[in-house]
């Protein structure tokens, strides 16, 4: 019988999940996925009796190309008034349809910075899968990917139309410090769903053994069986600690690349939600090298909840500030490239 390590016990002693979801922040960017985003946020707010805040950020820097083209200042106040009227109408509709407390928050400034500030008062942030600027997404990725590097709150990426509550949630676990919290959040955000815990065993050792011509039917098979038993024992222990006796989860263990196996398992079980924990790697490493969370975020076909690992007070604040600053600089560079492209197109256009 395998001995379960103390990792799971240490996970239970820190980073507790909120007892309830009391405040949900829905980011409104008026993109094509807006309807699905608002419907899902409203369903969750109604299910958890939470306050729903609709947030829209007007970035004055976005009017710069328009100002240069028109030759006169863009009317930012007009934009604010239009956004306020639309947000108020959406809030009234959602409050009446779902019987919830819906509020509006309109901010002016850098989108990433303002969303991060607003998210500090929320338990959950809900965003759409597609943004309103395809060119900028091509250069930088979707707005959700930018928020993944900066927001230190659980981030729900909505991909599908929200017609009902979540029914089947896939929870990939790698036994890092964020795993237990991800499992708790899955149970919290989808109380009616069946939970499927999943672990991918790194197959690099098996590949090395095969490269050394180690007998397949001996050492390799025995190693795989022991790794499988140990992973199952850890999944069972972690679920028992985090979910308690009243909630049951299924378990699946596979060998191979984690992100690829997670996406395959999503389709196999028909998941409508994937909940994945994001460990405390640096924003720079995540931006350059990518992570399992980001690969799943890009490849998943259903809604994805990314649960970050809470940082220590001082370190987490500094890291969040650096991530926001880097994201803002990248966004400004993307605008510069976009403006250069527009100028090049005007020069090449026939006269």
Give the model's pLDDT for residue 342.
57
Residues 139 and 178 in one domain: no
**Which of 135, 163, 191 is the endpoint of a domain?**
163
Task: Estimate the crossing angle of helix 221-243 against helix 204-211, to 10 degrees.
Answer: 170
Edge to edge, the sheet with strand 303-308 lists: 102-108, 51-58, 23-27, 124-128, 155-158, 303-308, 273-278, 168-172, 194-201, 249-255
Residue showing tokens 């600053």: 325
Residues 184 and 157 in one domain: no
Give the model's pLDDT for residue 294.
76
Domain containing residue 174: 164-310
Residue showing tokens 């820190």: 14
Question: How far apart, in whole angstroms, are the C-alpha atoms of residue 245 and residue 240?
Answer: 7
Any domain includes 149: yes
Any domain includes 86: yes
Both structure tokens of 255: 């060998």
Distances (CA, A) of 89 to 59, 70, 236, 263: 21, 30, 47, 37
Residues 224 and 257 in one domain: yes
Query: Are residues 2 and 235 in contact, defined by beta-carbon separation less than 8 angstroms?
Result: no
Give the model's pLDDT for residue 8.
35
Residues 85 and 108 in one domain: yes
Segment 278-316, tens digit of pLDDT:
775 544 444 443 577 778 888 999 999 999 876 554 444
**Which of 132, 163, 194 is the endpoint of a domain?**
163
**Does residue 194 sit in helix, strand or coil?**
strand
Residues 186 and 211 in one domain: yes
Neighbouring-strand partners of residue 125: 25, 155
Residues 118 and 207 in one domain: no
Cβ neighbors of 286 (< 8 A, separation 6 or more) are 148, 149, 294
pLDDT category of residue 331 using cuts at 50, 70 and 90: low
Residues 142 and 186 in one domain: no
Any domain includes 220: yes
Residues 87 and 206 in one domain: no
Residues 126 and 170 in one domain: no
Residues 174 and 289 in one domain: yes
Give the model's pLDDT for residue 81.
86
Residue 22 has pLDDT above 80, yes or no: yes
Cβ neighbors of 10 (< 8 A, separation 6 or more) are none
Any domain includes 212: yes
Mean pLDDT (whole number) for 82-108 = 92
What length does the chain have? 351
pTM of the model: 0.75
Give the model's pLDDT for residue 324.
47
Query: Are residues 308 and 276 in contact, defined by beta-carbon separation less than 8 angstroms?
Result: no
Give the model's pLDDT for residue 260.
92
Alpha carbon dihedral 113, 114, 115, 119, in 10-degree steps, equals 100
Query: Are residues 105 and 118 in contact, defined by beta-carbon separation less than 8 angstroms?
Result: yes
Number of domains in the chain: 2
Give the model's pLDDT for residue 206.
66
Any domain includes 315: no
Segment 155-198, tens digit of pLDDT:
999 999 988 999 999 999 988 878 889 999 999 999 999 999 99
Residues 178 and 133 in one domain: no
Mean pLDDT (whole number) for 75-93 = 87
Residue showing tokens 């069986």: 225
Any domain includes 141: yes
Give the model's pLDDT for residue 90.
94
Residue 54 has pLDDT above 90, yes or no: yes
Give the model's pLDDT for residue 304.
94
Residue 242 has pLDDT above 70, yes or no: yes
**Which of 130, 163, 196 is the endpoint of a domain?**
163
Residue 335 has pLDDT above 80, yes or no: no
Distances (CA, A) of 25 to 52, 101, 154, 224: 6, 12, 11, 44
Residue 182's domain is classified under what CATH number?
3.40.50.620
Residues 192 and 306 in one domain: yes
260 versus 61: the higher-pLDDT residue is 260
Any domain includes 342: no
Q: Give whichever of 16-25, 47-56, 220-229, 254-263 has the largest mean pLDDT.
A: 47-56
Give the model's pLDDT for residue 309.
75
Residue 327 has pLDDT above 80, yes or no: no
Question: How far apart, in whole angstroms, are the C-alpha atoms of residue 330 and residue 335?
Answer: 9
Give the model's pLDDT for residue 109.
86
Any domain includes 347: no
Average pLDDT over the chain, rounded to whole? 76
């Amino acid at each position: 019988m395998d001995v379960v390590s103390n990792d799971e016990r240490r996970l239970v002693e820190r980073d507790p999940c909120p007892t309830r979801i009391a405040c949900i922040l829905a980011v409104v960017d008026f993109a094509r996925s807006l309807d699905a985003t608002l419907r899902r946020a409203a369903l969750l707010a109604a299910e958890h009796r939470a306050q729903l805040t609709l947030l829209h950020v007007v970035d004055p820097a976005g009017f710069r190309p328009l100002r240069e083209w028109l030759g006169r200042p863009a009317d930012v106040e007009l934009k604010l008034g239009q956004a306020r009227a639309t947000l108020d109408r959406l809030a009234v509709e959602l409050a009446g349809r779902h019987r919830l407390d819906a509020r509006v928050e309109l901010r002016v400034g850098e989108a990433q910075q303002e969303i991060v500030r607003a998210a500090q008062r929320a338990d959950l942030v809900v965003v759409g899968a597609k943004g309103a600027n395809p060119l900028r997404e091509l250069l930088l990725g979707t707005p959700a990917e930018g928020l993944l590097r900066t927001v230190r709150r659980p981030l729900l990426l909505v991909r599908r139309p929200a017609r009902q509550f979540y029914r089947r949630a896939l929870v990939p676990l790698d036994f890092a410090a964020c795993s237990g919290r991800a499992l708790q959040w899955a149970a919290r955000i989808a109380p009616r769903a069946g939970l499927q815990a999943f672990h991918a065993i790194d197959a690099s050792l098996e590949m090395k053994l095969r490269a050394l011509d180690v007998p397949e039917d001996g050492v390799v098979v025995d190693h795989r069986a022991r790794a499988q038993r140990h992973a199952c024992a850890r999944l069972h222990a972690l679920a028992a600690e985090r979910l308690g006796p009243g909630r049951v989860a299924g378990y699946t263990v596979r060998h191979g690349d984690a992100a690829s196996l997670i996406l395959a398992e999503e389709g196999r079980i028909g998941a409508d939600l994937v909940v994945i924990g994001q460990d405390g790697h640096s924003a720079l490493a995540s931006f350059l090298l990518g992570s399992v969370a980001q690969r799943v975020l890009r490849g998943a076909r259903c809604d994805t909840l990314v649960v970050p690992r809470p940082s220590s007070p001082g370190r987490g604040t500094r890291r969040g500030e650096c991530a926001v600053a880097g994201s803002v600089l990248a966004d400004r560079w993307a605008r510069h490239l976009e403006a250069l492209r527009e100028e090049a197109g005007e020069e090449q256009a026939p006269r």
